[in-house]
Amino acid sequence: MNDDQDESNDDLFIITRNGDDQDDWMLSFVDLITLLMGCFVIMYALKSADVSKQEQMSKSIHEAIGDVSTDKTDKLDYTGLYQNISEYINNQNLAAHVEVRLTKNGVEISTEGSLLFEPGSADLNNESQDLITKIASSLMNEPFFIQIEGHTDSAPIATPQYPTNWELSAARAARVVRLMISLGIDANHLNAVGYADTRLLYPDQPLHAGNRRVIFVISKIQATSS
């Protein structure tokens, strides 16, 4: 009997559990939560970066489209004026003396000085009246700003009335402005400036007749913020 009991005792195993091992599952759970939180943080950061890139891309596209649209709109605003003046110039056989240019900022009408003034004078001749009247009528009640530029060649002038080309070029520009005001153009939409011979059309030929000219620079009136 004792021998059987001894054999049974030999087959018995006593399993003991260490208290620290009971907490292993808790540590694994904490590690899992930490890992998941790290994944969520990374995913959120990537999503935020994508949103930022999308916003930046959207902004760039909007600005590009806006610039193109604005540029087309501005040119359309000037096209009618350009065509109107160009047609008049061609009909009056003035193309050899007047150049009309459609620019990014508006319209430029460059006229030979001899077409408007006698040499050394700021008095408008008879032929100039019709041209300036046509330009003024095309701009009447339109939101345009007109700068009149007077240019001379490099031939010196020394008269009591015009001691230098500065006085002559400025006087010619001012004379055109006065006529346009008398024709009904708002004085606040006009400006006169004389450049003398500082902006020669033919720099290599300072005495060239083409340097003597009057330019109408027409642009849209810029809105001012209140």
Q: Which residue has the tokens 């530029």?
A: 149
pTM for this predicted structure: 0.67
pLDDT of 97-145, one tens digit each?
A: 999 999 988 999 999 999 999 989 999 998 888 999 999 999 988 889 9
Average pLDDT of the segment spanning 171-196: 97
Please give the C-alpha separations between residue 45 and each of 6, 25, 41, 99, 213, in angstroms, as whole numbers: 68, 30, 6, 60, 64
Give the span between the Cα atoms of 25 and 93, in whole angstroms: 100
Q: State the chain's mean pLDDT as an integer.
A: 82
pLDDT band at 73 (very low <50, low <70, confident <90, very high): very low
CATH node for 69-220: 3.30.1330.60
pLDDT higher than 70, residue 148: yes
* Contact predicate 213/201, CB 8 Å: yes
pLDDT higher than 90, residue 20: no
